[in-house]
Amino acid sequence: MPNKIFGRNVVLNAVEANRKFFEIYVSYQSLQTCEDVLKYANDRHVKINILSRKEMDLKFPNDKHQGIVAFVEDYQYFDLDKIIENNDSPFLVILDGLEDPHNLGAILRTADATNVDCVIIPKNRSVGLNSTVAKVSTGAIEHVPVAQVTNLTQTIKKIKEHGIWVVGADTDSEMKYNEIDGNMRIALVIGSEGKGISRLVKEQCDYLVNIPMNGHVNSLNASVSAALLMYQVFNDRN
């Protein structure tokens, strides 16, 4: 099923990833800035529709399209086993029940910046890869492998068999997030918005760490928490 993506950077990253295109809509005003995309489409005989900016806004009223919209092949999920096998020191991020596509997109953007090898999401009660995630990730969705699994608890057990340490973010933990040893084979677990990590997943974590907070609120946005933990690992490794 074709997936709609929009915005110049998102579409350009899809080109760089050699994603299959089915159809493109572009405004007259964006022809010059989208030359690379249009050449890619022409070379592959992809249908290109050129519209006025007003026509684009009418056709795609809810999208911040920046003058270009493309319909591409659906996003493919990666094989987690192969990713682990092909990395001597895997750096994984596990998302437990994240439902906000904006958070997932932001996490993918940071994951790309911090050399995360794979982001793992469950099939149920979780947002998947879609056009909003692509837009918020500013194209990182094309560069960060995402694995979708049926049972998160069983997946974590399997991950641990490969000598990967599982570290969960939890506000009640006494261990601070900056005590993480990012040089070990590691998987970070980030919980859902408001609920945190589920009990069964928490029980599988080797360590639980907290992010100190001295203000009036007691938790951070999931993507912010994920960013702090990812950069802690990244800094240790670099």
* pLDDT (tens digit per residue) in 133-152: 988 998 899 999 999 999 99
Report how far apart, in Å, the C-alpha atoms of 122 and of each of 44, 95, 127, 203 are.
35, 8, 9, 17
Q: In this structure, are 183 and 98 located in the same domain?
A: yes
Decide which of 49, 72, 95 is a domain's last residue: 72
Q: What is the pLDDT of residues 161-174, one digit of tens each?
A: 999 999 999 988 88
Supply angle C-alpha 68, 69, 70, rounded to 5. 125
The pTM for the full model equals: 0.88
- pLDDT score at 225: 93
* C-alpha span between 192 and 147 (Å, rounded): 17
1 pLDDT more than 70: no
Q: In this structure, are 99 and 53 located in the same domain?
A: no
Q: In this structure, are 61 and 144 located in the same domain?
A: no
Decide which of 15, 41, 72 is a domain's last residue: 72
213 pLDDT more than 90: no
How many distinct structural domains can be found in the chain? 2
Q: What is the pLDDT of residues 19-66, one digit of tens each?
A: 899 999 999 998 888 888 999 999 999 999 999 999 999 998 877 888
CATH of the domain at 199: 3.40.1280.10
Q: What is the pLDDT of residues 67-124, one digit of tens each?
A: 999 999 988 899 999 999 999 999 999 999 899 999 999 999 999 999 999 999 999 8
Run of H or E including 69: strand 68-72
- The closest of 232, 2, 230, 237 to 116, measured between CA atoms, is 230
Domain that holds residue 187: 80-237
Q: In this structure, are 28 and 125 located in the same domain?
A: no
CATH of the domain at 55: 3.30.1330.30
The DSSP line for 82-111 is HHHHT-SS-EEEEEES---HHHHHHHHHHH
Decide which of 40, 56, 72 is a domain's last residue: 72
Rg (alpha carbons) of the chain, rounded to whole number: 20
217 pLDDT more than 80: no
Q: In this structure, are 153 and 171 located in the same domain?
A: yes
Q: In this structure, are 166 and 228 located in the same domain?
A: yes
Pick the range with the lowest mean pLDDT from 1-5, 92-96, 184-188.
Answer: 1-5
Q: In this structure, are 153 and 224 located in the same domain?
A: yes
Q: In this structure, are 67 and 144 located in the same domain?
A: no
